[in-house]
Chain A
Amino acid sequence: MQGPLIDTLARQGVTRRAFMKYCATLASMMALPPAAGRAMAEAMAAAPAAAKRPSVIWLPFQECTGCTESITRSHSPSLEGLIFDAISLDYQETLMAAAGHQAEEALHAAMKANEGKYLLIVDGSIPLGLDGAYSCIAGKSNLEALKEAAKGAAAIVAMGSCAAYGGIPKANPNPTGAVSVSDIIKDKPIINIPGCPPIPVVMTGVLAHFLTFGSLPELDGKGRPKAFYGETIHDRCYRRPFYDQGKFAKTFDDEGARNGWCLFELGCKGPVTYNACATVKWNGGTSWPVESGHGCLGCSEPDFWDAGGFYKALSMPADPLKMVANAAVVGAAAGVAISFANRGKKSAAKSAHETTTLADLEK
């Protein structure tokens, strides 16, 4: 196997064998057939010189850069980072050296040169309030920028929960009128990679799939790749046996917590959260939130900020029951009123009662 990527990898001390192994792992994680690993390796290795590599444009909107941080930092200098060598990342504000007009030029040049072929990655939500004035780049609102960039895109990747579902900016009361990419763009294939931030390998997996097959992987009902979002955290959690046994940590520092018991009662949203954290883990397989002793926040699900609080168990009320006390009073009042009405009826019947005498019967 030859190609610019293989040469780059070799220079960085990564053997061909390690690269093949990585592609095979990636393919198996995505539940693709074994041959797909080799196909991926070949597609990426064959990626030609800089000018012809598939163009990727990354637009940041209302975001915290956490998604970029997650992908670039947590895995560097691992093999996953190197997948970027197979693409031409033509615009990424955080990573690119250019700034201001130069950056804008790069963006427009890439859009023009790769019309209809580039992959558009978006992180951050799009504000619609005040005509989009809450977030502008180069004098353009995010809405305008997205529409413009989406026009020539082959597909769009909504990276992170903000781009996929609105995320934190959309949380109640949503002051900026934030919406997701799929709320605006209806005529392009969109793949959601939610998470706050998303798992790096999910992103590289999707990129590898796109590079190899020229298409997006199979998606679930919420636009997420099924390979990574097919199962809940709860079902794959190593603490699951404790849930089944009814062994729960009651506080973050009790005996149960020290014994690694289930965090359901501490508000873990694992049962309703579809993501790969429990299997892929974070930071090169070091750990993940539940392993470090904190329940899942549900960050890869829409509106997880407004799902009743991070520390309330799923079976607990999402909000305090406000009407109950009043309802009890109304119930008591209604009961007493009806009691009096019934008593009234009874005494009316009693007073209306005519005594029957022997004489009446003989009539």
Chain B
Amino acid sequence: MNDMQFLTWVRGTGLDIAVSIFLLGVIWRLFEIYSIGRKQDLAAPRSTPGASGLHTIFRRSVPPEGMMKRSPVSYIGGYVFHIGLAIVVFLFAPHILLISNLTGLSWPGLPSQFIDLITVVTMAAMVLVLFDRINKPVKRFLSTFGDWFTWTLTFLPLLTGWLSVQHLLLPYTTMLALHILSVELLLVFLPFTKLFHAFTVFGSRWYIGKINGHKGVAV
């Protein structure tokens, strides 16, 4: 298989397989998670200001008092890499073109040099977050294979995308194919790893917030 055949495969059959597994997994897990339900809490609800599902959704995006000082890398690094990732994924013109082709939705993109800068910043933030995870004994102790694996899955598309644009290491065609392949791997594993938080993060925050809100606790 030469590099062009490889590229055509990842753009064709590979993409078909990856998107299919992704959709299958996402739909399956959403059905599974949201159908579990919960036993009704028969206790009389207490109402405290700020204790509700909606409040928790927003509150959990802001560091609790004192935590920013204790764990700045987690918060700042986390913010930078999540926002950076969103910009790179959704505002790079070729990516928008793919999304528009698959869904019909389209919006304006950003200049490629800007995307390039954001990619470097995002990768730096991810490396920093990883270093922090290795460096802090508690974080390291709490980390499982899934954490290292999903970090790699997220990092590879950024790295290969950047390398391909910069023409580093491998010829562009091969690197572009590897980039698409790495995204396909991400798609395949997303529904079955902790990366599924992309779909459930606000749902679960609302869920926790509501349970606690019923008890009158604002968390």
Contacts and interface: CB of A to CB of B under 8 A. Distances in A.
A331 B23 contact: yes
Contacts of B32: 335, 338-339, 342
Interface stretch (A46-54, A282-290, A322-330): A322-330
A303 B28 contact: no
Interface string B14-25: 011101110111
A339 B98 contact: no
B102 A272 contact: no
Interface stretch (B108-116, B130-138, B202-210): B108-116
B2 A303 contact: yes
Given A264-B94, A308-B11, A326-B20, A221 B35 contact: no
A331 B93 contact: no
B20 A343 contact: no
A222 B173 CA distance: 13
Given A317-B11, A338-B28, A323 B5 contact: no
A222 B4 CA distance: 11
Contacts of A232: 172
B111 A327 contact: no
B8 interface: yes
Nearest to A235: B167
B20 A272 contact: no
A350 to B, nearest CB: 9
Nearest to B10: A318
A121 B32 CA distance: 65
Given A246-B93, A301-B4, A335-B29, A272 B24 contact: no
A319 interface: yes
B141 interface: no
A76 to B, nearest CB: 33
A248 B106 CA distance: 14
B31 A339 contact: yes
A319 B101 CA distance: 11
A228 interface: no
A328 B27 contact: yes
A79 interface: no
Contacts of A301: 4, 173
Interface string A206-243: 00000000000000011000000000100100000001
Contact of A330 (B5, B8, B24, B113): B24
Contacts of A304: 4
Nearest to A350: B39
Contacts of A271: 172, 176
Interface of A: 221-222, 232, 235, 243-246, 248, 264-265, 271-272, 274, 298, 301-304, 306-308, 313-319, 321-324, 326-328, 330-332, 334-336, 338-339, 342-343, 346
DSSP class of B's interface residues: helix, strand, loop or mixed?
A: helix
A232 B4 CA distance: 14
A246 B28 contact: no
A254 to B, nearest CB: 15
A330 B23 CA distance: 9
Given A244-B111, A264-B94, A322-B16, A316 B11 contact: yes
Contacts of B28: 331-332, 334-335, 338
B26 interface: yes
Contact of A313 (B35, B37, B97): B97
Nearest to A306: B8
A321 B102 contact: yes
Contacts of B19: 321, 324, 327
Contacts of B25: 331
A265 B97 contact: yes
B12 A318 contact: yes
Contact of B20 (A306, A308, A321): A321
B24 A334 contact: yes
Given A328-B27, A331-B23, A272 B98 contact: no
B7 interface: yes
A317 B98 CA distance: 7
14 contacts: A246-B109, A298-B4, A301-B4, A303-B5, A303-B8, A307-B7, A317-B12, A317-B102, A319-B12, A323-B16, A323-B20, A324-B23, A327-B23, A339-B31
Contacts of B2: 222, 302-303
A318 B25 CA distance: 23
Contacts of A328: 23-24, 27
Contacts of B31: 331-332, 334-336, 338-339
Interface in B89-145: 93-95, 97-98, 101-102, 108-113
B98 A316 contact: yes
Given A221-B171, A318-B12, 9 more contacts: A232-B172, A264-B94, A315-B95, A315-B98, A317-B16, A321-B20, A324-B20, A324-B23, A339-B36
Contacts of A335: 27-32, 35
A244 B109 CA distance: 10
B13 interface: yes
Contacts of A346: 37
A308 B12 contact: yes
Contacts of B109: 246
A272 B2 CA distance: 13
B43 to A, nearest CB: 19
